Structure formats: C-alpha cells, structure tokens
Amino acid sequence: MITAQQMRAARALIGIDQRQLAELAGVSVPTIQRMEASDGQVRGVVDTLVKVIAALEAQGVELIGENAPSTGTGRGVRLREAREG
C-alpha cells in the first residue's frame, strides 16, 4: 500500500510535519510516528492507512506503486534502480 519512506517523502514534498498529517488524517501523532518507523511497508489498521493515504492525496500527493507509471503531472520525486559500478 504505502511504505514508511513514501510517507516521510510525501510529507516533505508538501511541507508538513507529523502533527499536521495526523490532523489531516484524523489520527493520532503516535500513530503517524509508528507508521513512519515501520520497516518497508507500513503496517496498521487498514482504515487508518486509508485515512492517511486519502489525506496525502487530498494535498496533491501521488503515491506511485512499485513499477507503476505516474498518471499525474507536475513535479515529483521517484527512486530508480541503482546503477552498478
């Protein structure tokens, strides 16, 4: 669904802190902290994950899945495969 790294990057792109994301999503700050401390995929109650994703998307964030094309326009950041050598 979403990785901890994506959550942190999304917040940085829109310039909000954990408290602001918690308010936008209607969840607690400790919940956001736990989600962002996850290793890889964020684990948690599905309803909570949906709220956080919806809050980020409402702020203009496009979350891109592994190997998925971007459908949005505008600026963004995406990881690419590391070059060897």
- Residue 64: what pLDDT? 83
pLDDT for the residue numbered 74: 72
Domain ranges of the chain: 4-58
Query: Mean pLDDT across the stretch 22-51?
Result: 93
What is the average per-residue pLDDT within 4-20?
94
Cross-strand partners of 3:
41
Cα dihedral 76, 57, 32, 47 sign: negative
Look up the pTM and report it: 0.83
What confidence score (pLDDT) does residue 41 get? 87
Half-sphere exposure at residue 67, Cβ-oriented, CA atoms within 13 angstroms = 0
For residue 12, what are the contacts with CB-CB under 8 A and spacing of at least 6? Answer: none
Q: What CATH topology corresponds to 4-58?
A: 434 Repressor (Amino-terminal Domain) (1.10.260)
